Structure 1
Amino acid sequence: MEQNYKIENITKNSTNLEVDWSDGKKSKFNYLWLRDNCPTAHDKDSRHRMFNILKVSKDINPKKFSLNNDGKLQIEWSEGDHVSYYDQKWLRDNCYTIKNNLEYKSPYKLWDNSLQDHLKSVEIDHDEIVNSDEGLIKWLELLHHTGIAIVKNAPTDENSGFKVLNRISHTRETFFKTPFEVINIPKPNNSAYTAHALRNHMDLPWFENPPGYQFLHCLINSAEGGNSSAIDAFKVASYLRENEKEIFDTLVEIPFKFKDTDYTQEAHRHFHAPSITLTKDGDFNDVRFSVATMDVLDCSPEVMEKAYKAHHRFGNLLHDPKYQINFRLEPGDIFSFNNRRVLHGRTEFNPNSGHRHLQGYYMDRDEIIGRLKYLKSY
C-alpha cells in the first residue's frame, strides 16, 4: 500500500521530538523511547533486544537530528557516539501518540440466547480445518471473536482430537492428563466425572492462570440427558456495567477465593481473584466463576455483604435463559470455547440408559491468538 503521509516538520523540546505529518497528524517521540527502539537495538536473528537502555543516562537527547537523503529520521545522540536511523513508516506505525488517541474497538462479538437460532454460524467441519489454512483461520476467528465454535464430523476414535488441535499448537497439560476422560466413574475426584447436572462454570478457577480454551470432544452420547449449555459471561458482564454499576464494580474490585478440593492431589491449590478482570483498555479480560469450587470467602467483614450480593446477582444472570444457549453434543462434535469467557454446563444424565464419553483438552489463550495473527500476516 502506498504511503500517503510523510514528515513535514520536526521540533525538539526537553523530552520529545515533536513531528508534524503531511496528513495533519502530530506525534511526540520520547528520547528514551527512541534510543531504546533504534533499529540496531535488536539481534538480527533472534530479534531480541540486545541494547541495554539502563546503560544510558535519563538525560540522553538528540545532539543533531534531520531527515536524510533516504527520507529516514537520522539522530546523532548526545552520548554513546551513536547514530540512529528510523524509517518514517515504522515511526508512524508505532506512534503511541496517535494510537492512544484512537477509539478502542473490542475484538469480541458478544451474544445471548439469540445464538440458539443460529448455531450453524459457529459450526465448522473438521476436515475443513485439517486440510486448509482458510478453515483453520475461520475456526480461530470464531474462538477469538465469538468465544465458541463446534467442530463437526471429527473422528470418534480415542485421542483423535490431537490431529485438529495440533493444527493450532500444543495442548496444555494438567494433572487431569491430556486428554481427560469425561465419563461417569465410581469415587470421582471431580463432579464432571459423575452423571450429575453441572451448573455453568469455568474450569480450574483456582489456577493462577486458568486454561484459556477448552475442547470437549464427544465420542459417545447415547445416554438420556447430558445436554450441554453455554453462556457468554462477557455479555452478562457488559449488561451489569451498563445497568447495575455497583454490582459490576464490586465484581471487579473484590477478590473471591477458589480452591482445588481434589482428594487425589498432594498439592493444595487456591487462588484469590475478582470475578471480572479488565484489560488496559477497559475491555473484558476474563470471568472467573464456579459455584462448585468457590472456597470459604475471607474478604473484609465490611464488604462481605456486598460481595455476596454481587456474587448472587452475577451467578443468577449467568444461568438466565435469556443469555444461555442449549444443545446436544453428537458423536464427532468438538465443543470448543474460551474457558475464561464462555461458561459451560450440562443437564443430568441417566448412566443406565446409555453411555456418555467426552475427551477434554486445554490450550492457552496465547496459542489461539498467536496462531491467528501469524496466519493472517503471511
Structure 2
Amino acid sequence: MPTALAVPPAIDDAVRIAALAHTADRLTIRWSDGRESPYPAIWLADNRPDRRDRPDGQRLFDAIDLPDGIVLRGVTLGADGAVEVDLAGFDTPARFETAWLRAHALDPTSRAERRRRPVLWDSSLALPTGDYTAVAGDDDARAKWLRQVHDHGFALLRGVPAEPGMVCKVVELFGFVRETNYGRLFDVVAVDKPQNLAFSALSLGNHTDNPYRDPVPQMQLLHCLEAASEGGESVVVDGFAAADRLRREAPDAFALLTRRAVPFRYVEAGKVDLRAKAPLIELDADGDVAAVRYNNRSIAPFDLDPDEVEAFYDAYRRFGRLLHDPNLTVGFRLAPGDLFIVDNRRVLHGRRGFSAGRRWLQGCYADKDGLTSTLFSLESSR
C-alpha cells in the first residue's frame, strides 16, 4: 500500500502540494489544482540535485553510474515545501524544490504544456513586426521580436539602415551567420543568364530554401536595399498550418508525405553538387510536424515504388496547392530598410514578378539554436 503524508498548510505558493504518496518505485504528488504527477524512483535518482548542481547545468555523473535496484524508502515534506526523498543506494536523502518538481512533472498535462506548440496562421495574420532601433538597443524589445519569430516562424523588422551588410548585423543580435556556397551573405538582384531563378525578375513560387542541404539552413533573413517600383511583393505561408490542414482533410495523403523521402539537388557545373533526401513533411517523436521542405526548382526525380507513384503525386500536388492557397498566404511589400526573417524549416516564402525598377535584397542564413538561446536567456533574466 502507498504511504500518504499530510502537507503543512504554511506553504503559500501559486500551486502547492496538496498530498504525497509513494510506493517502492514511485512518488506521486497531488497538487492544489487537482493535478497528479508521478515521479519514478530511478528518475528521481538520476535527477538528484547533487547530480546537477553545477551553475551551467551540466551533470557530473552518468546514468550508467546509478546503482541497480533503486527503491524509494521514504518521503518527507519540509515546512518550506521542499520534498526530501530517501532512495536506497544513496547515503543521504535528495532534497527537491517544489517549483522544480512541478516544472518537470511527468503527468500527461504537464508534458503537453512543455511541448509549446507553434502559433499556426493564415492570410488573416497581423504582420509581426519590430523596429530595428528598439530591437538593437533594448532587451525587452529584442525578446518580444524574437518571441514573434519563434512562435510564428516569421517576422518583419522595420528601419534597418539600407546599407550593404546590415543583414549580417541583424543576425548578430541573436546568433551567428551560417556561411554557404553562396557566401556569408548574398545579393538577390536580377542579372542576365541567372544560375538561380531567384536572381531574375520572374515570380517565384512559395518554397523553402536549400532543401538539397543536410542540414538545411534553419533561419533565412532578407533585407531590402532597393524596391522595384512595380511588382516584386513578397509572399509567405505557414507550412505547418498547411500541413495541419492536409492532415485534417486528407490524412492518407499526409501520412504518405511523411513516410517517403524525396531527393533534392542543386548543381553548378564543376563547382557545386549538393544532394539531400528527406520527406516533404517531417514529424518529431511525438507525431507533431517538425519541418516542411518544398522547392519545385530543386526537387529531383522521385525514387518510389511504381505502384505508389500516382498516389504520391496526388498527395504532393494537393500539399502544393495548399501552400499556394490565397487563404493561407500573406503578401507584403518591402520598402528600403525593411527586413524579414523566416524559419526555413517551417515558413515558405515567394515573390511576385516585377518589371519596373531595380529590386535589390541582401540575404544570409543563421542557425535557430542561436535565436532560441538568446530568446530564452533574455526571457529568463526579466
Tell me the TM-score normalised to structure 1 length: 0.88
Aligned to 2:178, the other structure's residue is in SS state: coil
> CA–CA distance in 1 between the matches of 2:87 and 2:27?
13
Structure 2 portions without partners, runs of 5+ = 1-11
Aligned to 1:217, the other structure's residue is in SS state: strand
Aligned to 1:292, the other structure's residue is in SS state: coil
1:174 aligns with 2:180: yes
Per-residue deviation at 1:80?
4.9
Q: Determine the structure 1 residue equivalent to 2:39.
A: 29
Q: Deviations over 1:307-354 (max 9, x none)?
A: 11111111122122232222322111102222222211112334xx43
Per-residue deviation at 1:65?
4.0
Contact 1:190-1:262 at 8 Å conserved across structures: no
> CA–CA distance in 2 between the matches of 1:333 and 1:69?
56
Aligned to 1:303, the other structure's residue is in SS state: helix
Larger displacement relative to structure 2 (180-189 or 283-292): 180-189
Residue number among 14, 18, 22 corresponding to 1:11 in the alignment = 22
Contact 2:22-2:72 at 8 Å conserved across structures: no
Q: Determine the structure 1 residue equivalent to 2:376.
A: 373
Residue number among 341, 349, 352 corresponding to 2:346 in the alignment = 341
Contact 1:64-1:77 at 8 Å conserved across structures: yes
Q: Determine the structure 2 residue equivalent to 1:191.
A: 197
Q: Determine the structure 1 residue equivalent to 2:8.
A: none
Q: Which amino acid aligns with 1:318?
A: L
Contact 1:104-1:281 at 8 Å conserved across structures: no
Residue number among 308, 322, 329 corresponding to 2:327 in the alignment = 322
The 5 Å alignment of 1:134-173 reads 134-173=140-179
Aligned to 1:149, the other structure's residue is in SS state: strand
Aligned residues: 370
> CA–CA distance in 2 between the matches of 1:110 and 1:98?
23
1:297 aligns with 2:323: no
1:241 aligns with 2:247: yes
Change (3 A) 1:155 1:236: same
Q: Determine the structure 2 residue equivalent to 1:271.
A: 276
Q: Which amino acid aligns with 2:213?
A: F
Change (3 A) 1:122 1:100: closer
Per-residue deviation at 1:215?
0.9
Larger displacement relative to structure 2 (149-158 or 33-42): 149-158
> CA–CA distance in 2 between the matches of 1:240 and 1:63?
51
1:284 aligns with 2:263: no
> CA–CA distance in 2 between the matches of 1:92 and 1:45?
20
Contact 2:15-2:31 at 8 Å conserved across structures: no
Q: Determine the structure 2 residue equivalent to 1:132.
A: 138
Q: Deviations over 1:218-277 (max 9, x none)?
A: 1112364332222222222222122122222222222222122233634x4322221112
> CA–CA distance in 2 between the matches of 1:135 and 1:69?
40
Question: Root-mean-square deviation (CA), in Å?
Answer: 2.5
Residue number among 357, 360, 366 corresponding to 2:360 in the alignment = 357
Q: Determine the structure 2 residue equivalent to 1:79.
A: 89
Larger displacement relative to structure 2 (231-240 or 277-286): 277-286
Aligned to 1:260, the other structure's residue is in SS state: strand
Contact 1:204-1:211 at 8 Å conserved across structures: yes
Q: Deviations over 1:83-113 (max 9, x none)?
A: 3222233222211125457578754332222
Larger displacement relative to structure 2 (323-332 or 72-81): 72-81
Contact 1:32-1:58 at 8 Å conserved across structures: no
Q: Determine the structure 2 residue equivalent to 1:114.
A: 124
Change (3 A) 1:9 1:209: same
Tell me the TM-score normalised to structure 2 length: 0.87
Structure 1 portions without partners, runs of 5+ = none
Change (3 A) 1:106 1:283: farther
Q: Determine the structure 1 residue equivalent to 2:13.
A: 2
